Structure 1
Amino acid sequence: MNTEQYKARFSEPPVQRSKDDLKEAETRAGRALAYALDIRKFEIELYWKRATYFWAFIAAAFAGYGLTYKTAADHEPWLSLLFSSLGLVFSFTWYLVNRGSKFWQSNWERHVDLLEDITLGPLYKVVAVTEDNCATNPLTSPAQFSVSKLNQILSVFVATVWLLLFTKSILPVSCSLPIDIYKLAILVLTVGSLWLLYSQGRSSTQFSEKGLHERGAKSET
């Protein structure tokens, strides 16, 4: 749908009172704006709760890898591979969750942008840039960095570190060496899990074009 069709969805139906008699918060668009703001706030709260959740598991994997690195090298070498596998899978999942969270946060921010036009005005869309915001002091002046983008880049870095540790735990690989069934099982499980997370972890409804899209009702079958 286009912007005008979207706004028409929130126009007031025929009622006994005119729109001028209604308070702004009582109009359909006003109520929708309040919901959009609340859901956006909820998405941001969930974003950081998810980050805390993944950091806890990743930190535990780092601790486990560090504790078993020296002892497992001689006795149970597959333990280091196991912890690095856990760290890799959790950090990769954290990266995908960051992208998914950002998608829905952006979705509700777009709703706020559109609903503001027909209710209280462009309060959220207007960015008030002050002289202090334009300062170039890297230590004290504010800067327009995206917290969610920084978090995504950090998750990629952490996943890359785990990938290096995972690769190191697999080595050495040689035809002259006996096959370690535990290492082989962990390798297959890790690669399969990463593939499933990326290919099967997507939303059931996918939109590949820019614009406003209306989701259809799901089939009962």
Structure 2
Amino acid sequence: MTTNRDTYFGALGLSPPGAKSKGTRRTAAGESSDRERDARLAALTRSHEIRQFEIELYWKRANYFWLLQGAVFAAIGLIWRDASGLIPSLLPVGLAALGAVTALAGWLSSQGSKFWQENWEHHIDMLEDEFEGRLHKTAYVGKKGIRWSVSGVNDRLALCFWIFWLFVLLVATSKTNPNWTLDPHKLTLCPTGQEVGTIACWLFAIGGSLYIRDRTSDMHGKDVAYPEGTIELKQGDVRPYLFRREPKI
């Protein structure tokens, strides 16, 4: 039993495997040990169930954002193909701004889903040894080595699409405002309504991205740092830690 594992079970409020049960009689001590073992088994079972649930939610959320981006892109394509001129030329700029915000929201959502999935995988890693051996922590690598992470590829693709939507926004802006130039002699202090609308769309794309990027959390409690091992980050070495949430009331 490592010090980190002792810390983990202490934060979880469970006795670690092999701990001596308190009791005045052998029977009472045995019953207490059985209850503690059942509690650890229940925690492991629930960790497996919620991990599977988080994986299902990850792909459902990913499909939601991919479908939304596809609908926005299809709308822009139909507008650009329209030759009647009845559709406002500013609309593709607004849709491109919406696409950029949606792509970033999809990427952040996948990051959040992955965080909670890894949270339950950490619980499994700590709890499984007593009941399942090291099944979850043991992987058959094979001759070609460790392969790519499916969710990791999806995360990177979502980020690439956010960059793509910024490019689409630039193209839509250029098509809507062909007279815009970087020449300071041709700048005017009296923008048209279409130019004001274009600027508003850019502000929406930037402001919306910053707004959804803000990490909001109602978690409150205390940190429980692991005494062994550190993780290398750009800011320096830090110890991994648990966060014990407490009831709000």
Q: How high is the TM-score relative to the length of structure 2? A: 0.72
2:49 equivalent in structure 1: 38
Paired residues of 2:219 and 2:245 also in contact (CA < 8 A): no
Alpha-carbon distance, 1:162 to partner:
0.7
Larger Rg computed on CA atoms: 2
Equivalent of residue 126 in structure 1, options 122, 130, 138: 138
Identity of aligned residues (%): 29
1:156 equivalent in structure 2: 159
- Structure 2 gap ranges (5+): 182-186, 224-232
Question: In the aligned structure 2, how far is the partner of 1:42 from the partner of 1:14?
Answer: 36
2:148 equivalent in structure 1: 145
Q: Deviations over 1:158-206 (max 9, x none)?
A: 111111001111224342463523222222222111110112x443449
Q: Deviations over 1:75-104 (max 9, x none)?
A: 622111121112111111000011111111
Give, as a single letter, the amino acid of the residue that structure 1 aligns with 2:59: W
**Alignment: residue pair count:** 209
1:116 equivalent in structure 2: 128
Q: Is 1:198 matched with 2:213?
A: yes
Question: In the aligned structure 1, how far is the partner of 2:59 from the partner of 2:210?
Answer: 25
Give, as a single letter, the amino acid of the residue that structure 2 aligns with 1:193: G
Alpha-carbon distance, 1:21 to partner:
7.8
Q: How high is the TM-score relative to the length of structure 1? A: 0.81
Question: In the aligned structure 2, how far is the partner of 1:42 from the partner of 1:146?
Answer: 18
Question: In the aligned structure 2, how far is the partner of 1:49 from the partner of 1:115?
Answer: 28
Question: In the aligned structure 1, how far is the partner of 2:39 from the partner of 2:52?
Answer: 20
Where do 1:38-187 residues align within 5 Å?
38-71=49-82, 76-129=88-141, 133-135=142-144, 144-171=147-174, 172=177, 173-174=180-181, 175-176=187-188, 178-180=192-194, 181-187=196-202
Give, as a single letter, the amino acid of the residue that structure 1 aligns with 2:91: L
1:140 equivalent in structure 2: none
Question: In the aligned structure 2, how far is the partner of 1:203 from the partner of 1:134?
Answer: 43
Deviation larger for 179-188 or 86-95: 179-188
- RMSD of aligned Cα (Å): 3.1
The higher-RCO structure (CA 8 Å, 6+ apart) is: 1
- Provide closer, same or farther for how the CA distance between residues 72 and 179 of structure 1 changes in structure 2, counting only shifts above 3 A: farther
Paired residues of 1:68 and 1:80 also in contact (CA < 8 A): yes
Alpha-carbon distance, 1:29 to partner:
1.0
2:230 equivalent in structure 1: none
Deviation larger for 166-175 or 72-81: 72-81
1:215 equivalent in structure 2: 244
Helix, strand or coil at the partner of 1:149: helix
- Provide closer, same or farther for how the CA distance between residues 196 and 152 of structure 1 changes in structure 2, counting only shifts above 3 A: same
Question: In the aligned structure 2, how far is the partner of 1:19 from the partner of 1:148?
Answer: 43
- Provide closer, same or farther for how the CA distance between residues 194 and 17 of structure 1 changes in structure 2, counting only shifts above 3 A: same
Paired residues of 1:72 and 1:79 also in contact (CA < 8 A): no
